[in-house]
Amino acid sequence: MAKKRKRHTPEQIVKKLRDADAMLNAGQELAVVLQSLEISEATFHRWRNQYGGMKSEQAKRLKQLEDENRRLKEIVADKELDIRMLKFVAEGN
């Protein structure tokens, strides 16, 4: 049976990365650290690439900006579709 997938907030991710760094600096092996944090190695490396060196406020702001960017891209796509549709209708006249 597969485990239920967890969603982590940016603050939780930054905290887990800090905890991982502390454990690794204390001499624990990566496998032990990952098991205690309950994340995979791929997730750890992806988080480190995306959130490494950030404070939790910065990570939260990054997430907000990404969400806003996604919404704006959807709006632009809808407007582009409207423009194309109007051009198609105008050509028919």
DSSP string, 72-93: HHHHHHHHHHHHHHHHHHHHH-
Beta strands, E only, the chain: none
pLDDT confidence of residue 93: 60
pLDDT tens digits for 51-66? 877 787 888 888 899 9
* Residue 1 included in any domain: no
* Residue 78 included in any domain: yes
Range of the structural domain that residue 30 is part of: 10-92
pLDDT confidence of residue 24: 92
* Residue 2 included in any domain: no
* Residue 4 included in any domain: no
* Residue 5 included in any domain: no
